[in-house]
């Protein structure tokens, strides 16, 4: 069994993850002003993910430049992602990639938390994350799309939560957004049959905010990004915070949160002129 507590070198916040780390992770990472683009880049393996991929995503999140407001996650080649690299079930696709056996529950818990960290940062209020999905988005790939704030999908998209069919549970942060979007019963049906959801059904279920022809995916994501960047940055962050807490707040708590956020906005918009 691999050591579940492998220490990764932390990314330098000034430069981000190294090229070597990104290459091992099968990722590309580009920043253009306020827009960061993460590309899953193992097309010859349909962007299958290893533990290094999830750790690479976490590194990107840890060192994301402060000025980034929109993060686009996309896949190179015919598919967004075929999910976990099946080579890992037979001893590891890459060095150190064998599954922990769970014997040390505490260490395994920390190990999985480290993988989940690759996805959780995509919900930060400071950014809006967009999954640009085409082709297959299976297992960890589907969960990556679910970790993003907005899903723009091509009409050839095929979502599948495959983990239970492999004897696993979906554990990279996907179950909560899935249930929030489609409800408990549909989430159960999708996970416990591991069936494929095509683009039309995905749109009906709310799993996609936009469905577009395959060749219009990049253009649509570009237009969406432009629209998001046209919004006042402070208002965008405060509004995302509000929307994220709405599902778990009572009406009273949410009204209080709206007042609190608006006071901040009013101070920024009118404070200077009244000073």
- Closer CB to ligand ACO, residue 128 or residue 197? 197
Assigned token pair, 59: 């590194």
Show Cβ contacts of residue 216 under 8 Å, excluding neighbours closer than 6 positions: 154
Closest to ligand ACO by CB, 40 vs 82, is 82
Is the Cβ of residue 29 or residue 142 nearer to ligand ACO in the bound state? 142
Distance between CA 158 and CA 198 in Å, rounded?
5
Residue nearest to ligand ACO (CB): 139
Minimal distance, residue 134 CB to ligand ACO, in Å? 12
Binding residues for ligand ACO (CB under 6 A): 45-46, 48, 78-79, 82-87, 136, 138-140, 162-163, 166, 168
Which residues, other chains included, contact 155 with Cβ-Cβ below 8 Å and sequence gap of 6+? 199, 200, 211, 212, 213, 214
Q: Which of 86/266 has CB closer to ligand ACO?
A: 86
Whole-angstrom CA distances from 109 to 100, 164, 226 are 10, 19, 39
In whole angstroms, the minimum distance from the beta carbon of 77 to ligand ACO comes to: 9
Task: List the beta bridge partners of residue 27.
Answer: 40
Query: Where are the extended beta strands (E) located within 35-119?
Result: 35-40, 70-75
CB of 166 to ligand ACO, least distance (A): 5
In the complex, the smallest distance separating the C-beta of residue 84 from ligand ACO, rounded to whole angstroms, is: 4
């Amino acid at each position: 069994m691999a050591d579940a507590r492998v220490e990764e070198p932390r990314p330098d916040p000034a430069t981000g993850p190294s090229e070597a780390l990104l290459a091992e992770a099968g990722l590309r990472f580009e920043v253009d002003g306020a827009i960061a683009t993460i590309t899953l880049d193992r097309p010859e393996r349909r962007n299958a993910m290893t533990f290094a991929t999830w750790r690479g995503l976490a590194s990107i999140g840890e060192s994301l430049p402060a000025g980034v407001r929109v993060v686009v996650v996309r896949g190179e080649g015919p598919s967004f992602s075929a999910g976990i690299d099946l080579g890992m079930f037979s001893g590891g696709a890459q060095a150190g990639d064998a599954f922990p056996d769970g014997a040390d529950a505490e260490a395994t818990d920390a190990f999985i938390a480290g993988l989940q960290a690759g996805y959780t940062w995509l919900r930060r209020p400071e950014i809006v994350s967009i999954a640009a999905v085409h082709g297959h988005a299976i297992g960890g790939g589907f969960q990556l799309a679910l970790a993003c704030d907005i899903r723009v999908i091509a009409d050839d998209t095929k979502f599948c939560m495959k983990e239970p069919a492999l004897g696993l549970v979906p554990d990279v942060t996907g179950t909560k957004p899935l249930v929030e979007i489609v409800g408990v019963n549909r989430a159960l049906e999708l996970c416990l049959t591991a069936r494929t959801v095509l683009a039309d059904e995905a749109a009906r279920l709310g799993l996609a905010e936009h469905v577009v022809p395959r060749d219009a995916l990049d253009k649509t994501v570009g237009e969406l990004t432009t629209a998001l960047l046209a919004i006042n940055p402070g208002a965008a962050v405060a509004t995302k915070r509000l929307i994220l807490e709405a599902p778990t707040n009572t009406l009273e708590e949410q009204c209080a949160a709206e007042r609190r956020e608006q006071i901040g906005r009013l101070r920024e918009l009118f404070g200077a002129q009244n000073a």
